Amino acid sequence: MQQTKTYLQHGSVSCYQHSCAVAYLSVLISEQLHIRCDQRSMIRGALLHDYYLYDWHIKDQSRPLHGFAHAAFALRNARRDFIINEIEADVIKRHMFPLNITPPSRRESVIVCIADKLCALRETFWKKPYQTS
């Protein structure tokens, strides 16, 4: 996970900051809406959903169409570096719905998918989306 601190995600937000924000918002959504889920797996999946480990702003023929392909790269890397369960794999693999046409099949995946979109919007349109002071 430390390596994700070196890659920008949206605007000035690192992939690490983005993933932490998605995990945090996923917990808020599940708790506020009283959605029962495997919170541990949801958080782990959220933290690893963008674990693709490259700078997507740099064009590279080996990884065209980042939006469509990065979930598969993230899942491959997560399986290589961690022991992940089926829920975590589903969260990582399907977080880009509807850009990727396979919809989330678990409630944890749906929650993370929504949280990811909300965080991406905030990170894209706010100058300092996660300023603490």
Tens of pLDDT along 25-42? 999 999 999 999 999 999
| The pLDDT value given to residue 98 | 87
Give the CATH fold of the 2-56+63-125 domain. Answer: Hypothetical protein af1432 (1.10.3210)
Q: How far are the Cα atoms of 21, 26, 70, 79 from residue 86, in angstroms, in the given order?
A: 22, 18, 18, 11
User: What whole-number distance in Å separates Cα of residue 115 and Cα of residue 108?
Assistant: 11
pTM: 0.87
Whether the predicted pLDDT of 61 surpasses 80:
no
